Structure 1
Amino acid sequence: MTALLAPAAPTGRPDVGQTLRDTTALVGRTVRRTTRQLDTLLLSVLLPVMLLLMFTYVFGGAIDPSGRYVDFVVPGIILLTAGYGAANTAVDMASDMTNGIIDRFRSMPIRATGVVTGHVVASMVRNAVSTALVIGVAFLVGFSPQATVLGWLGALGVVALFVLALTWVGVAVGILSSGPEAASGFTFFILFLPYVSSAFVPPESMPSVLETIAAWNPVTPVTDTMRGLLLGLPVETSTWVAAVAWCVGIFLVARVAAGLLFHRRR
């Protein structure tokens, strides 16, 4: 009788079609959960717009009296948005790792790694919406990019690569954390990075110690590449190569770490 009531164990690995369907379902689960979390939506979508308005109208006049500070600050706000998205991903991933949902998925003939994919896709979607809103509001407050079509594609490509890298860092932190509260501590570190870079002020205006930190901050080459592409300014080869190298390097390390940590926690 016990044998009859016990769930049948999977007899083999899911085929490619089944894996794709399972992953799609788990992606849809994470995206739907995001839309039901009002605080997450406000943090991911509205807060970057508020920061853009604050930097433009509150600090912009003091930093750049010419009134063109909005052109300078838009790339920094976009990257700050990516930081918020990665922090939210860390918290959501930690919640899934500690609330028993992974154990439930393990009892089903599906690949639980689809949960990780779901969080990555949801983060990319959130950041895409936030970036579009930031750029749209920036146009309303006077943003005047001079980018060509290729420039826009290049800038958006760099943003996507940066978001992907930070998202996987958030996933790794979420898996490693003991719970959502511990993962939320990641927010401070990831949100602090853009402030000590070229995102909001030129590094040469900082004290020598901070200028050195800004020079080695991965946010600096990413910001400079985006700013140059959007404003039609020349971008040095060393700058965009450093931006891509930082993003790819962070992505690879975080991706491998997340995979190892996930299987270890399981």
Structure 2
Amino acid sequence: MTTTTDRTGLPEDAALAAPDAESLAALLVGQERPPRPSALSASLTFGWRAMLKIKHVPEQLFDVTAFPIMMVLMYTYLFGGALAGSTQEYIQFLLPGILVMSVVMITMYTGVAVNTDITKGVFDRFRTLPVWRPAAMVGYLLGDVLRYILASAVMLTVGILIGYRPDGGPLGVLAGVALLVVFSFSFSWIWTMFGLMLRTEKSVMGVSMMVIFPLTFLSNVFVDPSTMPGWLQAFVNNSPVTHLASAVRELMAGGWPATDIVWSLGWSALFVAVFGSVTMRLYNRK
């Protein structure tokens, strides 16, 4: 028994069963196209992708678990007795400030993640997808929000264990953390810009350190600015980190620092307007 073949090398019965071009075109384009995902849906999908990275590489959480614990314990017991007379008194002033400092420093890793994906060519694929163009960037930042919340929870837990007592209660603590997360989300746009501008992740890390260390240490995180020289007070009192630390400290203490809250939200809006626009322009031209 033999089987005849056509010019394509396929058996005749297979050739007869193969669809022609018109049938194939009708099958591919004749159906109704699925709706384009909304901006929110696309951003949440990219945010979920960022969180899946943590699932597969859990050691990425080191900077939001072990590092915050080390910061709280080290600064409390190193400086508490010298600056406030006792660690119990100093932790009341220090914890909201060191919380702000630690979470703001964590934001730099957003730029590193962006740069890494660019180096691997992942962004070339993202640019071809029929989704809202900023969704990839917003997704990175949404994924990092989980890291900010986790770091805040870890530091507050350690602080309460060693004597911190927020007079504002749970509502004051939640309000302070919410303001910190909003600011950190906005501040992260600076690092996405650097992640797109610089060539390597080491360059992003180096530039981030040069910017973030002076900005966080030259603030009221550790001490009252009134003890500083006058020329330094002029910078510290107008620093965005100082306004944020003051707002978080007062909210957790049960107050309502309207001026510092407005300043913090104003800085947040400015970061998104300026660095978000620059980031998207670089992303579209990259």
TM-score normalised by L of structure 1: 0.85
Displacement of 1:40: 2.9
State the match for 2:229 in structure 1: 207
Displacement of 1:24: 3.8
Say whether the 8 Å CA contact 1:70–1:138 is kept in structure 2. Answer: yes
1:152-197, Cα deviation, whole Å (9 max, x unpaired): 3431221122111112222222122222111112133213312111
Displacement of 1:71: 1.1
Say whether the 8 Å CA contact 1:40–1:88 is kept in structure 2. Answer: no
1:110-141, Cα deviation, whole Å (9 max, x unpaired): 55643212211121111111111111111101
State the match for 1:45 in structure 2: 65
Max Rg structure = 2
State the match for 2:254 in structure 1: 232
Kindly report which structure 2 residues correspond to 1:64-75, keeping only aligned pairs within 5 A, or say none. Answer: 64-67=84-87, 68-75=89-96
State the match for 1:101 in structure 2: 122
State the match for 2:202 in structure 1: 181
State the match for 1:59 in structure 2: 79
Instruction: List gaps (5 residues or longer) in structure 2.
Output: 1-20, 22-27
**C-alpha distance in 2 between matches for 1:23 and 1:227:** 32
Displacement of 1:15: 3.6
State the match for 1:222 in structure 2: 244
Kindly report which structure 2 residues correspond to 1:1-266, keeping only aligned pairs within 5 A, or say none. Answer: 15-17=35-37, 22-67=42-87, 68-110=89-131, 113-148=134-169, 150-185=171-206, 186-233=208-255, 235=257, 237-265=258-286
1:36-63, Cα deviation, whole Å (9 max, x unpaired): 4455321232201110110111221111
Identity over aligned pairs, percent: 26
Letter in 2 for 1:98: T
- What root-mean-square deviation, in Å, do the aligned CA atoms of Structure 1 and Structure 2 show? 2.5
**C-alpha distance in 2 between matches for 1:25 and 1:245:** 29
Letter in 1 for 2:77: Y
Displacement of 1:151: 2.7
**Structure 1 residues 243 and 117: CA distance shift in structure 2, 3 A:** closer
Displacement of 1:232: 2.4
Say how many residue pairs are matched.
254
Instruction: List gaps (5 residues or longer) in structure 1.
Output: none
**C-alpha distance in 1 between matches for 2:191 and 2:102:** 14
1:171-230, Cα deviation, whole Å (9 max, x unpaired): 222122222111112133213312111111111112222222101211111111111111
**Structure 1 residues 202 and 93: CA distance shift in structure 2, 3 A:** same
**C-alpha distance in 2 between matches for 1:91 and 1:131:** 21
1:84-124, Cα deviation, whole Å (9 max, x unpaired): 32111111111112221111333454556432122111211
Say whether the 8 Å CA contact 2:37–2:131 is kept in structure 1. Answer: no
Displacement of 1:64: 0.9
**C-alpha distance in 2 between matches for 1:243 and 1:95:** 30
**C-alpha distance in 2 between matches for 1:263 and 1:132:** 36
**C-alpha distance in 2 between matches for 1:188 and 1:17:** 39
**Structure 1 residues 83 and 156: CA distance shift in structure 2, 3 A:** closer
